[in-house]
Amino acid sequence: RSAVKMEVAKQQHVDLCGDEEAVDDDDTTRAAVAIRAVQEHQQQPFAVIDLTGDDDGGSAYCFARELSTTLNHAPWRQKSLRELQQERSDWKIAQSLQLKTEARKRARHESVERSDEALARRLQEMQKEEEETKRTDEELARRLQELEEEEQAARRKAKVEEEVFDVLSEHRKGIHQL
């Protein structure tokens, strides 16, 4: 195919290099490179864009369009400048959307991290409160134990006093009876 296209360019005396000479090897090479680039361009819209090498997309498009116009019998169709500009615009919009999406993902991720950190801090606070409550409960349990022991001691003492009183009462009765 490329050979046929280059032959068509030679037959029409297309001066692709712009050196105002008859079609020569430079033109043939330029045609081959341009044809290959345009074919690749149709498959990957922005993979090969600057055919002239001057880092100016516009002239690359113009060159590609001129080439496709000159080789109008070729079995492939070159997109118009407007179509290419629209593709480029669409591509830029897609890139912008992708960047915005990535920024949102990063922001969400950072928000989740901050939320996780806040939850971790709150969990630590709750654990400290729980430990303090546990210590307070232990202290209250110890104090309750002491009070129960004091109460039991007071009951034993009261019981002993009651028994002593009963014994003394019986002795008094016995003494009165005598």
Provide the 8-state DSSP code for 54.
S
Name the least confident of 27-31, 49-53, 119-123, 144-148. 49-53
**pTM of the predicted model as reported, rounded to 2 decimal places:** 0.34
CA–CA distance, 130 with 132 (Å, rounded to integer): 5
Average pLDDT, the chain: 72
Arithmetic mean of pLDDT, 140-161 = 94
* Domain residue ranges in the chain: 2-79
Q: Which residues, including other chains, have CB under 8 Å from residue 85's CB and lie 6 or more apart? A: 61
Phi and psi angles of residue 80, each rounded to the nearest 5 degrees, phi first: -75, 165
Q: pLDDT per residue over 26-44, tens digit each?
A: 545 555 566 665 555 555 4
CA distances from 47 to 43, 91, 130 (A): 9, 12, 62
Q: With 50 as the cut, is the pLDDT of residue 61 above it?
A: no
Which residue type does 114 have? R
- Per-residue pLDDT band for 144 (boundaries 50, 70, 90) equals very high
CB 103 within 8 A of CB 73: no
